[in-house]
Each structure stands twice: as structure tokens, then as C-alpha cells.
Amino acid sequence: MKQIKLFDTTLRDGAQTEGISFTVEDKLKIAKLLDRLGLHYIEGGWPGSNPKDIEFFRRAKELKLRNAKMVAFGSTRRAKVKPEDDANLKAIIGSGAPTVAIFGKTWDFHVTDALKITLDENLELVEDSIRFLKKSGKEVIFDAEHFFDGYKSNPKYAVKVLKAAEKGGADILCLCDTNGGTLPSEIGKIIDEISKKVRKPLGIHAHNDSNTAVASSIIAVERGAVHVQGTVNGYGERCGNADLCSVIPILKLKLGIDCVSDEQLRSIAEISRHVAEIANLPQNAHQPFVGRSAFTHKGGIHVSAIMKHPGTYEHIKPASVGNEQRVTVSELSGISNLVYKAKTYGVDLKKETPQVKQLLERLKELELEGYQFEEGEASFELLVKKALGTYKPKFTLESFDIVTAKEGSEATKVKAKLKVKVKEGIVETEAFGDGPINALDGALRKAIESTFPEIKEVKLTDYKVRVLDSQEGTAAKVRVIVESTDAVKTWGTVGVSTNVIEASWFALLDSIEYKLMMEG
């Protein structure tokens, strides 16, 4: 079976992403995750360029990686300096990393216009920089910068550079689509041509400027490359690098290349989320394989089909990449979604159940009003169970009254008065709070806590208000999402109204009722 080595550059190229700034601590955490995922190489940074990367390499030695080799990145020596006197090469060796990725120019115009040296001088410095690193006992990956653009403009020279690297003793010749402008078909064709001209194994480093970095990496492998560079979540400069969270599942599940173990592959969705968390960027819900919506079904026909056979609308088993199938309830959804959802709530709803049609109608009305249950699934569950008669409200609201008062520069005071009807009769309470929702919550708890002590366990952990578009001069509506927890379970509830307090009340009420429902 074909052997492919996976090379991660999240900590070097990925760190160039706008909005990302990794601390040394962050980088060490990510390196551990990458090792768990089974990557073969982790490029830790450029020790010649900044002290933070030197610090990283020093501390990375304590990581005790099980799978990955640490890689130091750097450039070929400067012109007119001997390799052993070159500060950058010395820093690479000083990093202690067993493997080195060294980049050199392969595009003639970059040599003459950016480096401002002759084409022959560039060949020399590629060759002797690599020879020097090899003599120091390093495994050397040569990153042929701008290789595809260089090859298209001057194929003879680009190949000469690869041959110089080969002569110097490079272990891998990694062809870089640095500007990300080469299409996969061209990448495939060029790799075919290059394989006939050099002997050393080829690698691919693709950028995503044409949104084809993953495709380019895959075609490179199909045409013989044995080393793939990329980043977690496709992080990287401009439009990013090839996303390893797609590359790895494709190699393993579609091309049958055993680059990581089954167990490692199952950790990829979690690692993708975890790295996003460390990077402090939201994970793209629609990211293939690992995103939250990657196996989410919304259309009714789709849901009806996946219930019969998941393969009808899923290209792989979500569990193989540690992801899961989800079905959302929305206005697009039909009876099948409803039946499926109800099942996850332990309600055996049959398509023929008489209440199903009514429930679906009600759901459509609510969605028209602005309800959305993706984040308020507990409200949806209550709705279903109330409609089926399997849950009956244990108290009802008679009235509430809220007074907000401010005097001079003092903090605003809010008092909520509440009347609810429980089995024993009407209960009246009042409570103060720092805001109306807080005061209402306090008053409600006072009213029913003695009858239902379990609500003491409920804490509201998040409260979100979203203003919905107003139509034709009507007042704007708000949708409130409340997240609650009882330390065992977390649930979301939703309320919609033109009045933010009323919307909040609906969400709050559902939250408390949901707890009572769970307790039976």
C-alpha cells in the first residue's frame, strides 16, 4: 500500500492567518493535538526569524511526541555567506529539530528580481545549504517556493533548482503552489512531467487562493507525491493552505491510504474544533467532514431518505471522522423530520399519528412568527409533548407586572410582581433584580420553588437577543434564546415577541417547564 507522510504547518504557515496570534503555550497545546491525530511532521516555526519560535523549539523537546517529528523551517543561506556562517542556518540547527524544511527560489524572476543574484548563484546556495544541513545530521525537506509558477515560466530552470537540491542531498522535494493560482489539472500534469526528471520523492504544498488547495493536494498524491503539507482547518495566509481536515479523510476513506489509524481519524472533528478554540476563531459550521453542519439534514425528502438509509445523502459515515448526523427542524422540513426529531426525544411519533399534521401546521406558524428551534430544541420538545398530551403544564401564568425605576445616578432598580396558578391555588410573589428578566426569574422561582424544589438546580447560562427584520411597518420582533443547565444537562429554549420582556418570558418559562418535564 502507498505510504503517505502528512506534514502539518499550522504552527508556521497557519500562524500567518489574519486574526491568529499563537502564544508559545498555544503552539505546544496544538503540537500535542497534532501528534494525537497521527501526523508525521509538525513544522514548529522559523527559529531564524523570531525569539518566540526559538523558545517554542526549546520547550517542544519536553513534549514527548509519539508519532510526529518536529520540523524547523528556514531559508537557504544568504548570498556570499558560507553556510556555516549563515545565521539562519545556524538557528535551524540550534533548534534541535531532527527535520528541516528549507525553502529556496525556483522561479527565475524571483531570483533575479527579489534575491538580486544570478541564476547560477541561486543553484549553488540551494545545493550547499542542503549539503550543510545533511552533514549536520538533519532530514531535509526542500520547499521549492513558487515551483508551479516558476515551472510554467521557465521549466528548464525550475528543474535545475530541484536537481541542485537533489545533489545537495534533500530527502524530499516539496513542490509549492505558493500563490495558490495553479489549477489541480495543471498540478497533476506538471507532477507527471517532474517525476520523470528527478529521483527523489515529491511532496505538495498548496495554497487555497483558487479554492482548490485540497483538490491539488489529492491530485498530486494520485500522480505520485508521497508527502502532503497542509494546516488544520486550512488556516494560512490570505485564503489559507490545504485543509488537512479534508485531506486526511479523503486519503484514508476514499483513496484507501492508511496515513492515520481509524482511531486517529475519529479524533479529527474534535481536534479541528479544539484548534479553532485555541486560535480563538469560530469553526466554520459548513467545513466538510468536521463542521457541525457537515452531516446535517434539513430538506424533508433528504430526511425521509436518510432514515431509510444514511448513505442516500451522506458520502461517508459521520462517525468515521468523529462527527454526527443531525436533523434540523425548520420550515423546509416535512413530517419525516418531525418524526425523526420526536424519536430523539423519546416520543414515538408515527407518520399516521393524528396530531402530526396539526403539529406541523403549528410549527410552520411559529416559524413564520420568527421562531427557530435549532438553538431552542427544548422548546420544540415541549411543543411536541404538549401537543401529544404527554406533558401537561404544572402551573400557569395569571399575570406579571414589571416596574423599572431610576433615581439620579443610582443604579436602575427593577421589581417584578408575578401571579401564577398552581394546583394549590394562586401564588403571588415579587422580586427585585438588576434587570427585568432577572427580576421575573426571581419572582417565578419564589412562586413555585416550594412545590418544585428541583428548579433550584437550574441555572441560566446564556441569554441572546436577536432583532428580526420588521416587515411593512410592523414593529420589529425579537427572538430570545436562553440556555440553561442543571449541571447534568444543558438545554436551549426560545421565545419570540415584539416585546423583549415577553419574548424572554416565553424562553424562561420553557426553560423551567423543561426541567419539570424531565423530572416527570
Q: What angle do CA 278, 284, 288 make, to 5 degrees?
A: 115
Q: How far is the CB of 48 from Zn ion (least distance, A)?
A: 17
Nearer to Zn ion, 180 or 322 (CB): 180
The Cα diameter of the chain in Å comes to 96
- Count of residues touching Zn ion (by CB under 5 A): 1
Q: According to CB under 5 A, which residues from 54 to 83 bind Zn ion?
A: none
Q: What is the H or E stretch that residue 202 is in? A: strand 202-206
Cβ 84 to Zn ion, closest distance in Å? 28
Instruction: Judge whether 8 and 231 are in contact, CB under 8 Å.
Output: yes
> Which residue's CB is nearer to Zn ion, number 8 or number 13?
13
Which of 175/382 has CB closer to Zn ion? 175
Cβ proximity to Zn ion: between 50 and 396 the closer is 50
Shortest spacing between CB 242 and Zn ion, in angstroms: 10
Q: Which stretch binds Zn ion (CB under 5 A): 11-19, 33-41, 94-102, 379-387?
A: 11-19
* CA–CA gap between residue 182 and residue 208 (Å, rounded): 10
Taking CB atoms, the residue at the shortest distance from Zn ion is 13
| Residue 409 DSSP SS3 | coil
Supply 153's cell numbers.
515560466
**CA 478, CA 469: separation in Å to the nearest integer?**
9
Amino acid letter, 111: V
> Whose Cβ is closer to Zn ion: residue 9's or residue 336's?
9
Residue 13 vs 128, nearer CB to Zn ion: 13
User: Cα–Cα distance between 455 and 449 in angstroms, integer?
Assistant: 7
Say how many Å lie between the first and final Cα of the chain, rounded: 56
Q: What does DSSP assign to residue 233?
A: G
* Residue 436 Cα distances to 220, 501, 505, angstroms: 61, 7, 10
Tell me if 13 contacts Zn ion by CB under 5 A.
yes
Closest distance to Zn ion from the beta carbon of 238 (Å): 10
Minimum Å gap between C-beta 90 and Zn ion is: 23
Q: How far is the CB of 140 from Zn ion (least distance, A)?
A: 18
CB of 247 to Zn ion, least distance (A): 15
8 Å CB contact between 139 and 173: no
Nearest approach, Cβ of residue 180 and Zn ion (Å): 9
Q: Per CB under 5 A, which region of 13-21, 30-38, 127-135, 470-478 contacts Zn ion?
A: 13-21
Burial class (CB in 10 A: 0-12, 13-18, 19+), 468: middle
Q: Which is nearer to Zn ion, 105 or 477 (CB)?
A: 105
Per-residue interface string for the shown chain with Zn ion, residues 466-495, x marking contact by CB under 5 A: ------------------------------
Q: What letter would DSSP give residue 405?
A: E
Closer by beta carbon to Zn ion, 18 or else 469 = 18
Q: Does 127 bind Zn ion (CB under 5 A)?
A: no
Q: How far is the CB of 207 from Zn ion (least distance, A)?
A: 6
CB of 45 to Zn ion, least distance (A): 13
Binding mask 89-108 for Zn ion (x = CB under 5 A): --------------------
Candidates 10-18, 402-410, 445-453, 503-511 — which segment interacts with Zn ion by CB under 5 A? 10-18
Cell numbers at 74, concatenated: 528556514
Which CB atom, from 13 or from 243, has the smaller least distance to Zn ion? 13
Taking contact as CB under 5 A, which single stretch among the options 8-16, 46-54, 82-90, 392-400 is the one that binds Zn ion?
8-16
Q: Among 9-17, 123-131, 213-221, 296-304, which window interacts with Zn ion (CB under 5 A)?
A: 9-17
Report whether 196 contacts 168 (CB < 8 A): no
- Tell me the C-alpha distance between 138 and 97, whole Å: 8
CB of 73 to Zn ion, least distance (A): 10
Cell of 332: 423546509
What is 99-125 written as a DSSP string? EEEEEEE-SHHHIIIII-S-HHHHHHH
Alpha carbons within 13 A on the beta-carbon side of 170: 31
The nearer residue to Zn ion, 103 or 289, going by C-beta atoms, is 103
Q: How far apart are CA 333 and CA 327, in angstroms?
A: 9
Residue 48 or 322 with smaller CB distance to Zn ion? 48
Q: Which is nearer to Zn ion, 13 or 510 (CB)?
A: 13
Report the C-alpha gap between 494 and 370 in whole angstroms. 10
SS3 154: coil
Q: Is 145 in the site for Zn ion (CB under 5 A)?
A: no
SS3 410: coil
> Shortest gap between Cβ of 178 and Zn ion (angstroms)?
6
Q: How far is CA 270 from CA 27, 33, 119, 489, in A?
A: 17, 10, 47, 20
Q: Of 157, 168, 173, nearest to 224 (Cα)?
A: 173
Separation of alpha carbons 72 and 80, rounded Å = 23
The residues that touch Zn ion, with contacts defined as CB under 5 A, are 13
